[in-house]
Amino acid sequence: MPAYDLIVAGAGIVGAACALAAAEEGLRVAVVEPGPIGGGATAAGMGHLVAMDESPAEFALARYSLPWWEAWAEEAAAEFRRCGTLWVADDETGMVSLQARFARFAAADVACERLDAAALREAEPELAHDLAGGLRVPGDAVVYPPQVTRLMLDRVNARGGALLHRRKVVALENGGARLDDGTRLAGPVLVACGCDTPALLPELAIRPRRGHLVVTDRYPDWLHHQVVETGYAASAHGDADESVACNVQPRPGGQLLVGSSREYGRTGNAVSMSLLARMLRRCFRFLPGLARCKALRAWTGFRPATSDGLPCIGAVPSRRNVWVAAGHEGLGVTTAPGTARLFVDLLLGRAPRLDPAPYAPLRGMT
């Protein structure tokens, strides 16, 4: 039976980052992926690298992760671009939330700057003229996640790791993994299968949360920052069955990615025209000119969500040599590098630089 120091189930960005961190520690790694590389939530999302701060543990993991992304800035294929995030508010409630965010960023030394209505228009002329204000976070960036995932796996490969592509981990058994072709691999297993994680670990309450995105034709220089309404976090973390928030990203090639929506309890990938319409109208509130832009395609994807909005990272209790890194919902790209370091420290029995307790796999989630 082939033996590895680590078997990673899932070649999304989280699995790939964990495999790379382990390989860099000198571990012999195998990555098992039945579908395309980075073809799940990794491909469905926007690739926004964002200091997200809705809960202290989320903010801590994001801040721990973001510095590692600097290493990808020079890698052309990663399509890294530091566009920054522009949080915008359209009313007084939004301004209160912006002020609170500013205070949290300032306390954590995250560079940011408050913009009044006039400065906002100067920063983004396409923004509606009646917005209340904004907060610019210049350090935030975007990447193209499926490609970064491939690059990470190339590096794993360069360090002697194995990619078992078009194979699937179908069972965890006796301190190893069984694949769909009957092959058995020995060694610790990390389950990083995003929405599919409960198939291997039913004890984990990870639920798919559907989202819609639209990509437009090219409008170079139409928008400069990723523009996110400050209510986005409330939409992301609220437990409503259905919510929308303005989140619009200028891609390096000039296309615009337009989001976002969140739905629980949807299984198919069919676009919901009613929710899409609601989402777009919310975006027009902030960027009225978007209504005239041409949509090339609308699609849906699934985020692996937990009830408290935090990922599950660490050893799975009551299982021998089984680990998990999954449930990052919409923040898996941003937090993949931090997740990987945290996981590897735990795997190697070292004291992690980040308190792992908030991400404990079977913490008291409701």
Partner 1 sequence: MAERCDVLVIGAGPAGLAAAAAAAGQGVDVMLLDAQPRAGGQVWRHDIAHRAPRRARHALRRVAAVKRHFGIRVVDADASARMLRVEDALHAREFGWDRLILATGARELCLPFPGGTLPGVTGAGGLQALVKQGWPVSGKRVVVAGSGPLLLAAAASLRAHRARVLAIVEQAARHDVHAFARALWRWPDKLAQAVQLRARLLGVPIHYGAVVRAARGDGTLCGVEIDSAGVSVELACDHLAAGFGLVPDAGFGRLLGCELTAATQPAIRVDALQRTSVESVFAAGECCGIGGMDKARIEGAIAGHAAVGDESVARALFAARDRARRFADAVAHTFTLDPRTRTLADGETTVCRCEDVTLDALRAFHDARAAKLATRCGMGACQGRICGAALAELFGWSWHGHPRQPLFPARLASLADESLARRSCP
Footprint of partner 1 on this chain (CB under 8 A)? 36-39, 43, 146-147, 150, 166, 214-218, 253, 258, 269, 271-274, 276-278, 280-281, 283-284, 290-298
- Residue 76 CA from chain centroid, whole number: 20
Smallest distance, Å, CB 179 to partner 1?
A: 18
Three-class SS state of 89: strand
How many Å is the maximal CA-CA distance in the chain? 66
Which residue lies nearer to partner 1 by CB, 80 or 323?
80
Give the separation between CA 90 and CA 287, rounded to whole angstroms: 11
**Amino acid of residue 209:** R
Smallest distance, Å, CB 279 to partner 1?
A: 8
Which residue lies nearer to partner 1 by CB, 36 or 356?
36
Phi-psi label, residue 150: left if phi above 0, alpha if psi -120 to 50, beta otherwise: alpha
Which residue lies nearer to partner 1 by CB, 20 or 201?
20
Q: The tokens of 257 are what?
A: 């990615």
Which residue lies nearer to partner 1 by CB, 147 or 183?
147
Which residue lies nearer to partner 1 by CB, 83 or 280?
280
Smallest distance, Å, CB 318 to partner 1?
A: 36
Smallest distance, Å, CB 290 to partner 1?
A: 6
347, 24 contact by CB (below 8 A): no
Smallest distance, Å, CB 78 to partner 1?
A: 12
| HSE-up of residue 310 (Cα within 13 Å, Cβ side) | 24
**Amino acid of residue 351:** A
17, 152 contact by CB (below 8 A): yes
245, 258 contact by CB (below 8 A): no
Smallest distance, Å, CB 299 to partner 1?
A: 8
Which residue lies nearer to partner 1 by CB, 146 or 176?
146
